């Protein structure tokens, strides 16, 4: 990605030690940190992590990260997104060998292909696929999804010896709901933290056990009350896109006098939007959460609420502009960009379009963000 | 003329008339008959049985590509914010929607409804969403879950439920009703078309092969666009008779067939004859391909429920199945057609078709010993074609094959 901001000093007192590299390299030190815990990789917010957790695993999210692509070139053409290439690289280089399994959910064409490519590359752990419906509002989608969730549970039991009981699933759902609530609260209090602290708190939750992350969030949110929230000025923007696993762009926005007030990102608000109904039968409740969410660009919804959702975020947060952070070669996001940017233009909301790849020049990025913030200042 | 190196089929004129008639007919006053834009893998039998006229933006994209008019349409789409990295069928189609004055035949006639099936890719969903937004017409998406392993019973039930929803959708938007009798008849015609097409492709097992890849690509148009019509059946009967005659008389598609090759992925439309002529220069003929075999699924009749048959046929097309499945299929074709080498078009436009080709190539070469060449290009966007580099790679590959002979 752009450049990795490496934060090696303790960020929040002695509460969290965070090395940004550990986000892309969850296996580094896994054995020492969690000698008794088994990690299960996944990529997308449509992954039923509650099921993995209930089966006794720690769901660990695989993100893009930065680095060289070498081995992956023999497996993927140059026009594959950086996420696909980087995860392939780490998988082939053995950097993900601590995983007990890897779950790939059907979202885009690229994920569909890499699931099979990874499978055919003989990883040292089993790969499990989950064919999520593409049209979640369809007749029959819920029944299908429910059956697919039960199939996944059966695979966890048969191939991993890790059965999922209903009680365990309820507990896992409650834990992840708690994490979602805490993240939502954190979003409301983001001004109490530096940009890096904020993203550390959000993203670390995707590669650490949820129990640990919940405790961390609880304690930092408690001290928020005592802390004075910084009053920030300058144009407010919303980030929209796929994966942000590196705080470079929000850091630049803030350095240049803007502020990120919310986002529609897979590694951001889409991770914690909508709770699972804890009063319902747990499998059905998991299915329903996917049906209720504002769809990601790989999903179709007849009502197509993405543009409306973005406009309502703009209005609710008082943002003056939107920054799209889109991975090169990502079809679903590239298509949606056109519809979303038109909807914004109709409402007079300016936007900036940033395309990210493994080699985006940081200097140019700064200049463009600066020009955009100046534009927002003037408006 | 490069084309001279091909033995022209006598049925070529008939093919041209048939396709011209199709593109003319969709522009005639339709007396209230609705017109749908559909993806190449949509269950068109249902639409035909309901009297809905179906047109195929993908076929139109291929046509623009072959006429070398796709690039300017792609640019028209790019000017509206669509990334040049998107599928060039989608960009060509959207470009023809935004700037019909630039488009061959003025673009396709405006749709009354849209039907997209994601059994070929996820791109069609986004593409059809954009078309639906532009024309403000209703869109139905038939969701066929991708098959990494087996086609599960719950997936079948899901697709059947959607087919029923699709029928209600078409009834609602067009006011027409589906008669099961007419559906059965259309399915029969479609199956007959598919059978004839499969038989024609199978005739290429002969030595020398009666057809080369460009013949297959050109002649596949009716199987996509007119499947389930009497016109298509008639045409393929004539084509089959001609191809049979070629086999009987030992007439090959190219002057001298020394190497037999397999082609994977969509044609390079903008260099169709020129590109395959690079291989003819080495006496190499593409006797089989994976793309034109994409329309070889018959709908099981009689035994089971018709809707289940349609659901199974459409949900299990080869692009909706795993790379392992595709590797096995290609290994089988290599054996059946006695192939010396395979060429994979790594098509920037089409990710589901292209991203797994390295894995497939390794698997096939391990399994059969047959070498494969991967060429990166694009089916419609001629800007992505580097002729000299491509020629050099073909030369090196043909030398490898020569050493093996
Ligand atoms: S949605 Fe986009 S970024 Fe995500 S895997 Fe697919 S192509 Fe890559
Ligand atoms: S992505 Fe591939 S399958 Fe899909 S419309 Fe484009 S060319 Fe066809």
Helix axes A109-120, A82-92, angle to 10 degrees: 10
Are the CB atoms for B39 and B121 separated by under 8 Å?
A: no
* Per-residue pLDDT at A233 exceeds 90: no
pLDDT grade, residue A107 (50/70/90)?
very high
Residue B120 Cβ < 6 Å to ligand 2: yes
Distance from CA of B218 to the nearest CA of A (A): 27
Distance CA A151, CA A155 (A): 6
Q: Half-sphere exposure of residue B374, counting CA atoms within 13 Å on the CB side?
A: 20
Q: How far from the centroid of its chain's Cα atoms is residue A76's Cα?
A: 23
Cβ–Cβ of B358/A135 closer than 8 Å? no
Look at residue B213 in the predicted model and tell me its pLDDT. 95
Q: Does A338 touch chain B (CB under 8 A)?
A: yes
* Per-residue pLDDT at A252 exceeds 80: yes
| A351 CA distance to ligand 1 middle (Å) | 21
For residues B260-277, average pLDDT: 95
Q: Is B182-404 in the same CATH topology as B12-179? A: yes
Q: Where in chain B are the domains?
A: 12-179, 182-404
Look at residue A17 in the predicted model and tell me its pLDDT. 58
Distance CA A173, CA A105 (A): 19
Six-digit token string for A207: 């590669």
> Residues 275..314 of B with a Cβ closer than 8 Å to A: which?
none
Higher-scoring residue by pLDDT: B229, A16: B229
**H or E segment to which residue A353 belongs:** strand A351-356
> Mean pLDDT over all residues of chain B?
95
Q: Is the dihedral of CA B159, B163, B164, B166 positive or negative?
A: positive
Look at residue A302 in the predicted model and tell me its pLDDT. 79
CATH ID of B12-179, from 3.40.50.11890, 3.40.50.11540, 3.40.50.970, 3.40.50.10800: 3.40.50.11890
* Per-residue pLDDT at B311 exceeds 70: yes
DSSP A65-118: -----SGGGGTS-TTS-HHHHHHHHHHHTTTTTTEEEEEEE--SHHHHHHHHHH
pLDDT grade, residue A67 (50/70/90)?
confident
* Per-residue pLDDT at B257 exceeds 80: yes
Cβ–Cβ of B86/A335 closer than 8 Å? yes
Strand order in the sheet with B35-38: B53-55, B35-38, B113-117, B139-142
Residues of chain A contacting B143 with CB distance shorter than 8 Å: 133-135, 138, 141, 300
Are the CB atoms for A369 and A249 separated by under 8 Å?
A: yes
> Residues 193..252 of B with a Cβ closer than 8 Å to A: which?
none
Distance CA A210, CA A187 (A): 18
Look at residue B161 in the predicted model and tell me its pLDDT. 96
Stated pTM of the model: 0.95
* Per-residue pLDDT at B372 exceeds 50: yes
* Per-residue pLDDT at B399 exceeds 90: yes
For residues B125-140, average pLDDT: 96
Look at residue A303 in the predicted model and tell me its pLDDT. 75
Distance from CA of B340 to the nearest CA of A (A): 23
Residue B98 backbone class (left: φ over 0; alpha: ψ -120 to 50; beta: rest): alpha
Distance from CA of A82 to the nearest CA of B (A): 13
Distance CA B295, CA A312 (A): 45
For residues B127-139, average pLDDT: 96
Lowest average pLDDT, out of A63-67, A212-216, A266-270, B154-158, goes to A63-67
pLDDT grade, residue B170 (50/70/90)?
very high
Cβ–Cβ of B123/A143 closer than 8 Å? no
Look at residue A360 in the predicted model and tell me its pLDDT. 64
Q: Which of B81, B82, B121 sits opposite A109 (nearest CB)?
A: B121
Residue A162 Cβ < 6 Å to ligand 1: no
**Tens digits of residue pLDDT in B145-158:** 999 999 999 999 99
> Residues 291..320 of A with a Cβ closer than 8 Å to B: which?
297-298, 300, 302, 304
Q: Half-sphere exposure of residue B347, counting CA atoms within 13 Å on the CB side?
A: 24
* Per-residue pLDDT at B38 exceeds 50: yes
Pick the atom of ligand 1 nearest to A82's CA.
Answer: 8
The CATH number of the domain covering residues in B182-404: 3.40.50.11900
* Per-residue pLDDT at B16 exceeds 70: yes
Are the CB atoms for A313 and A238 separated by under 8 Å?
A: yes
Higher-scoring residue by pLDDT: A24, B118: B118
pLDDT grade, residue A7 (50/70/90)?
very low
CB atoms within 10 A of CB A270: 19
DSSP state of B204: T
> Mean pLDDT over all residues of chain A?
91
Six-digit token string for B60: 């139109």
Cβ–Cβ of A335/B154 closer than 8 Å? no
Q: Which of A77, A84, A332 sits opposite B122 (nearest CB)?
A: A332
Mutate to test the pocket of ligand 2, among B40, B59, B64, B89 (most ligand atoms within 8 A of CB): B89
> Residues 124..143 of B with a Cβ closer than 8 Å to A: which?
125-127, 129-130, 133, 139, 141, 143
Residues of chain B contacting A121 with CB distance shorter than 8 Å: 359
* Per-residue pLDDT at B5 exceeds 90: no
Look at residue A16 in the predicted model and tell me its pLDDT. 53
* β partners of residue A60: A41
**Tens digits of residue pLDDT in A128-173:** 999 999 998 888 999 999 999 999 999 999 999 999 999 999 999 9
Q: At a CB cut-off of 8 Å and minimum separation 6, what does B200 contact?
A: B211, B219, B236, B239, B240, B243
Q: Does A106 touch chain B (CB under 8 A)?
A: yes
pLDDT grade, residue B1 (50/70/90)?
very low
Look at residue A192 in the predicted model and tell me its pLDDT. 87
Cβ–Cβ of A112/B161 closer than 8 Å? no
Look at residue A5 in the predicted model and tell me its pLDDT. 35
Q: Does A138 touch chain B (CB under 8 A)?
A: yes
DSSP A21-79: HHHH-TTTTHHHH-TT-EEEEE-STTS-HHHHHHTTEEEEE--------SGGGGTS-TT
Q: Does B323 touch chain A (CB under 8 A)?
A: yes
Are the CB atoms for B106 and B135 separated by under 8 Å?
A: no
Cβ–Cβ of A339/B354 closer than 8 Å? no
Mutate to test the pocket of ligand 1, among A42, A63, A65, A84 (most ligand atoms within 8 A of CB): A84
Mutate to test the interface with B, among A91, A92, A102, A112 (most CBs of B within 10 A): A112
* Per-residue pLDDT at A11 exceeds 50: no
Distance from CA of B138 to the nearest CA of A (A): 9
Pick the atom of ligand 2 nearest to B122's CA.
Answer: 4
* Per-residue pLDDT at B46 exceeds 60: yes
> Residues 355..384 of B with a Cβ closer than 8 Å to A: which?
355-359, 362-363, 376
Look at residue A10 in the predicted model and tell me its pLDDT. 38
Q: Does A337 touch chain B (CB under 8 A)?
A: yes
Which of B31, B15, B361 lies closest to B176, judged by CA?
B31
**Tens digits of residue pLDDT in A31-51:** 999 999 999 999 999 999 999
* Per-residue pLDDT at A285 exceeds 60: yes
Rg value, chain B, Cα: 21
Distance from CA of B61 to the nearest CA of A (A): 18
Distance CA A113, CA A87 (A): 13
* % pLDDT > 70, chain B: 98
Cβ–Cβ of A331/B363 closer than 8 Å? no
Which of A187, A56, A191, A40 lies closest to A123, judged by CA?
A40
**Tens digits of residue pLDDT in A153-164:** 999 999 999 999
Residue A83 Cβ < 6 Å to ligand 1: yes
**Tens digits of residue pLDDT in A170-205:** 999 999 999 999 999 999 999 888 898 899 999 999
Distance CA A137, CA A139 (A): 7
Look at residue A363 in the predicted model and tell me its pLDDT. 80
Tell me whether residue B341 is exposed, middle or buried, using C-beta atoms within 10 angstroms of its C-beta: 0 to 12, 13 to 18, 19 or more: buried
* β partners of residue A353: A324
Which of A136, A98, A111 lies closest to A302, judged by CA?
A136
Residue A81 Cβ < 6 Å to ligand 1: yes
Q: Does B146 touch chain A (CB under 8 A)?
A: yes
Q: Does A33 touch chain B (CB under 8 A)?
A: no
* Per-residue pLDDT at A355 exceeds 50: yes
For residues B71-92, average pLDDT: 97
pLDDT grade, residue B402 (50/70/90)?
very high
For residues A278-287, average pLDDT: 97
Residue B47 Cβ < 6 Å to ligand 2: no
| B86 CA distance to ligand 2 middle (Å) | 10
* Per-residue pLDDT at B215 exceeds 90: yes
DSSP state of B263: E
pLDDT grade, residue A21 (50/70/90)?
confident
* Per-residue pLDDT at A8 exceeds 70: no
Q: Which of B81, B165, B348 sits opposite A338 (nearest CB)?
A: B81
* Per-residue pLDDT at A232 exceeds 80: no
**Tens digits of residue pLDDT in A68-81:** 899 999 999 999 99
| B10 CA distance to ligand 1 middle (Å) | 47
For residues A99-119, average pLDDT: 97
For residues A100-106, average pLDDT: 97
**Which ranges of B99-152 would DSSP assign to H, the alpha helix?**
123-135
Does the structure's ipTM exceed the value 0.90? yes
A146-177 residues labelled b (16+ CB within 10 A) or e (exposed)? bbbbebbbebbeeebebebeeebbbebbebbb
**Tens digits of residue pLDDT in B272-301:** 999 999 999 999 999 999 999 888 788 988
**Tens digits of residue pLDDT in A301-348:** 877 789 999 999 999 999 999 999 999 999 999 999 999 999 999 999
**H or E segment to which residue B377 belongs:** strand B372-377
For residues B299-312, average pLDDT: 86
Q: Which of B87, B130, B145 sits opposite A133 (nearest CB)?
A: B145
């Amino acid at each position: 990605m752009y450049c990795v901001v490496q934060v090696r000093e303790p960020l929040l007192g002695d509460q969290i030690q965070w090395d940004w590299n550990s986000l892309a390299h969850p296996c580094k030190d896994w054995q020492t940190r969690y000698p008794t815990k088994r990690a299960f990789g996944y990529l997308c917010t449509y992954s039923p992590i509650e099921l993995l957790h209930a089966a006794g695993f720690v769901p660990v999210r695989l993100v893009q990260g930065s680095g060289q692509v070498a081995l992956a070139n023999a497996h993927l053409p140059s026009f594959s997104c950086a996420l696909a290439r980087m995860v392939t690289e780490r998988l082939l280089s053995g950097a993900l060998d601590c995983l007990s399994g890897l779950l790939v959910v059907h979202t885009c064409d690229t994920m569909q292909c890499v699931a099979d490519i990874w499978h055919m590359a003989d990883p040292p752990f089993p790969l499990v696929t989950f064919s999520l419906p593409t049209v979640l509002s369809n007749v029959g989608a819920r029944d299908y999804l429910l059956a697919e969730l039960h199939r996944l549970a059966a695979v966890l039991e048969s191939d991993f010896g890790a059965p999922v009981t209903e009680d365990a699933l309820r507990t896992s759902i409650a834990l992840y709901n708690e994490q979602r609530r805490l993240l939502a609260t954190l979003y409301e209090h983001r001004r109490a933290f530096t940009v890096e602290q904020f993203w550390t708190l959000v993203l670390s939750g995707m590669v650490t056990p949820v129990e640990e992350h919940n405790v961390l969030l609880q304690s930092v949110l408690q001290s928020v009350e005592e802390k004075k929230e910084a009053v920030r000025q300058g144009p407010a923007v919303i980030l929209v896109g796929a994966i942000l696993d590196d705080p470079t762009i929000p850091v630049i926005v803030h350095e240049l006098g803007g502020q990120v007030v919310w986002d529609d990102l897979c590694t951001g608000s889409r991770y914690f939007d909508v709770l699972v109904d804890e009063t319902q039968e747990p499998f059905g409740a998991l299915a329903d959460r996917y049906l209720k969410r504002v769809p990601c660009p790989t999903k179709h919804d007849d009502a197509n609420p993405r543009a409306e959702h973005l406009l309502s975020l703009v209005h609710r947060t008082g943002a003056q502009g939107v920054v799209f952070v889109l991975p090169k070669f990502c079809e679903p996001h590239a298509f949606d960009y056109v519809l979303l940017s038109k909807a914004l233009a109709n409402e007079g909301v300016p936007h900036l379009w940033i395309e990210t790849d493994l080699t985006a020049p940081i200097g140019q990025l700064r200049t463009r963000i600066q020009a955009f913030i100046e534009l927002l200042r003037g408006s | 003329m490069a084309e001279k190196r091909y033995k022209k089929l006598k049925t070529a004129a008939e093919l041209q008339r048939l396709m011209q008639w199709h593109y003319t007919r969709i522009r005639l006053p339709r007396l209230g008959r609705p017109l749908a834009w559909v993806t190449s893998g949509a269950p068109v039998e249902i639409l035909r049985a309901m009297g809905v006229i179906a047109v195929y933006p993908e076929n139109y994209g291929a046509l623009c590509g072959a006429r070398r008019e796709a690039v300017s349409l792609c640019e028209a789409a790019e000017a509206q914010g669509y990334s040049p990295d998107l599928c060039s069928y989608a960009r060509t189609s959207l470009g023809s929607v935004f700037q019909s004055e630039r488009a061959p035949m003025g673009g396709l006639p405006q749709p009354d409804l849209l039907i997209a099936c994601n059994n070929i890719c996820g791109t069609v969903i986004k593409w059809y969403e954009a078309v639906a937004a532009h024309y403000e017409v209703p869109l139905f998406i038939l969701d066929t879950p991708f098959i990494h392993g087996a086609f599960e019973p719950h997936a079948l039930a899901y697709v059947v439920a959607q087919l029923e929803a699709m029928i209600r959708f078409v009834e609602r938007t067009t006011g027409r009703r589906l008669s099961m009798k007419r559906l059965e008849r259309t399915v029969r015609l479609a199956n007959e078309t598919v059978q004839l097409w499969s038989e024609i492709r199978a005739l290429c097992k002969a030595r020398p092969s009666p057809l080369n890849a460009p013949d297959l690509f050109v002649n596949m148009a009716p199987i996509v666009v007119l499947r389930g019509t009497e016109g298509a059946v008639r045409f393929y009967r004539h084509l089959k008779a001609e191809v049979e005659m070629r086999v009987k008389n030992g007439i090959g598609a190219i002057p001298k067939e020394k190497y037999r090759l397999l082609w994977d992925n969509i044609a390079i439309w903008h260099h169709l004859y020129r590109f395959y002529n690079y291989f003819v220069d080495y006496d190499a003929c593409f006797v089989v391909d994976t793309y034109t075999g994409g329309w070889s699924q018959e709908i099981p009749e009689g035994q089971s429920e018709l809707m289940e048959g349609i659901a199974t046929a459409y949900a299990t097309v080869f692009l909706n199945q795993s790379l392992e499945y595709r590797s096995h299929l290609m290994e089988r074709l290599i054996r059946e057609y006695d192939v010396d080498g395979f060429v994979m078009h790594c098509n920037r436009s089409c990710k589901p078709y292209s991203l797994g080709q390295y894995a497939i190539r390794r698997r096939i070469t391990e399994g059969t010993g047959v070498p494969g060449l991967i060429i990166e290009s694009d089916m419609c966007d001629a800007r992505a074609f580097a002729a000299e580099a491509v020629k050099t790679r073909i030369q090196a590959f043909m030398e490898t094959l020569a050493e093996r002979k």
